[in-house]
Amino acid sequence: MKPRQLAYLDALGIDAYESRAAVRSRPASGPAPPTSPQAAAQDGGSAGASGLDTLDWAALRARVAACTACELHRTRTQTVFGVGSEQAEWLVIGEAPGAEEDRQGEPFVGRAGQLLNSMLRAIGLERGEVYIANILKCRPPGNRDPKPEEALCCTPYLARQIALLRPKIILAVGRIAAQTLLATAVPLARLRGQVHRYGAFATPLVVTYHPAYLLRSPGEKRKAWADLKLARSVLAGRA
Ligand code: SF4
C-alpha cells in the first residue's frame, strides 16, 4: 500500500492492517422486477422526463436545469446535475442535494463531500477521475427523504447519464440510492458485501454507506473501506 493511501486511511480512522480482511463477494444478483420509481432508474422510462434517449451531455444538462416535473423545482436554488469526468470508469451515486449542494450546484460538497473525497483517495482516485451524481437533481426541503413520485420523475435523468457514461463500476452510497437503483426494499446492511448488476449493460454495482452517515457513525468506516476495496477488485477483475 502506498504511503499516500496510508495517510488517507489514517485520516478516515481506518487501520491499514485490520482493513486487509478479505471481503467475500457473492455471485451477482439481479434486481427484482422493476416497479416505479425503480423501473425508471433501470430503464429510463419516465412520467416526468421523456425523450431523453438522444440527448448528449450538454442537452441533458440543459433539460435538467429547466425541469419542473416535480414539486422540488419550487424550492431549489438550482439543479445539481452531477460532476466529474465524462470518461470516468467509476460512477458514484448518492441520494439528493443537501443545503450546501443546493447552494453550490455540485453534489457531495461540505463535510460529507470531503469524506467522500478521502474515501476515493484511499483507493487511489481523485474526485475528478470519477463521476458523481444523485438520484434527485433538486434538494428535498429540510433534507427529507425523496418521495417515490419525485424519484419517478427524476431518475430517468440519471439513467441517461449512465447510458452516456457507460461506467465500469457503480458505487451506490446510502440507502436511498441503493434501494432505488436495485429496485428493492432490502436494508442497506444486507445489500453491502456483494456485487449487484445494474441496467441493460449489467454494470457491476456495489453498495456502501453514505459519507454523512459515516460522519455520524465513524465506527462503520471500516465497513465502507471494505466496500471500496470490493468495488476496486471488481473493476480489476478480481471479484
Ligand atoms: Fe425535475 Fe428532478 Fe428537480 Fe424534480 S427533482 S424538478 S424531476 S430535476
**Residue-wise pLDDT tens digits, 182-208:** 999 999 999 999 999 999 899 999 999
Percentage of residues in the chain having pLDDT higher than 90 = 76
DSSP 138-186: SPPGGGPPPPHHHHHHHHHHHHHHHHHH--SEEEEESHHHHHHHHT---
d(CA 162, CA 41): 10
All residues at 6 or more sequence positions from 64 whose CB lies less than 8 Å from its CB, including other chains: 79, 81, 137, 157
**pLDDT exceeds cutoff 70 at 21:** no
CATH code, domain with 147: 3.40.470.10
Q: Which domain, by its residues, includes 167?
A: 3-15+32-235
Rounded mean pLDDT, 124-131 = 96
Q: Which pLDDT does position 156 carry in this prediction?
A: 96
Q: Is residue 189 part of a domain?
A: yes
**pLDDT exceeds cutoff 90 at 162:** yes
Question: Global pTM?
Answer: 0.85
Q: Is residue 40 part of a domain?
A: yes
- Closest protein CA for atom 4 of ligand 1: 70
CB of 61 within 6 A of ligand 1: the answer is no
- Closest protein CA for atom 3 of ligand 1: 138
Our CA angle for 18, 24, 25, nearest 5°, is 135
d(CA 41, CA 187): 18
Q: Is residue 231 part of a domain?
A: yes
Give the total number of structural domains in the chain. 1
The amino acid occupying position 105 is G
Q: Is residue 202 part of a domain?
A: yes
CB of 79 within 6 A of ligand 1: the answer is yes
CB of 73 within 6 A of ligand 1: the answer is yes
CB of 136 within 6 A of ligand 1: the answer is yes
d(CA 12, CA 80): 27
Q: Is residue 36 part of a domain?
A: yes
Q: Which pLDDT does position 143 carry in this prediction?
A: 87
Q: Is residue 229 part of a domain?
A: yes
Q: Is residue 195 part of a domain?
A: yes
d(CA 120, CA 137): 22
3-state secondary structure 90-119: EEEEECCCCHHHHHHCCCCCHHHHHHHHHH
Q: Is residue 85 part of a domain?
A: yes
